[in-house]
Amino acid sequence: MSDKKMIKKEKFDGEEVEIIGETYEPGKPEKAEDWRAKFSSRAQMLKYLEYGERYWFSDDWYGSERRKKPA
């Protein structure tokens, strides 16, 4: 782990611990990713978007960090 950048932080109880710092490389990607390039037809694009909305906004599916039973 010597190649990782370590940072010292203080926990809530006052104890000091070492954690791994930033691991990303600075800068911008050479070319932007185009999600539309993954699909060969308009129907595939619409299906992808439809499933995405169903995942995040539907009551019968459970999106990221959504509870199965409301509080």
Count the neighbouring beta carbons within 10 Å of the beta carbon of residue 51: 12
How is residue 37 written in tokens? 């390039």
Look-up of token digits 């619409």: 46
Report the chain's C-alpha Rg in angstroms.
21
**Quick check: 22 and 30 in contact, CB under 8 A?**
no
Q: Is the whole model's pTM more than 0.85, yes or no? A: no
Q: What is the pLDDT of residue 53?
A: 77
What's residue 70's pLDDT? 64
| Helix, coil or strand: residue 58 | coil
**pLDDT at res. 22:** 83
Provide the sign of the torsion angle of the four alpha carbons 37, 43, 47, 50, taken in this order: positive
Which residues in the chain show pLDDT less than 50? 1
What is the predicted pLDDT for the residue at 15?
A: 93
25-42: pLDDT as tens digits: 888 888 888 888 889 999
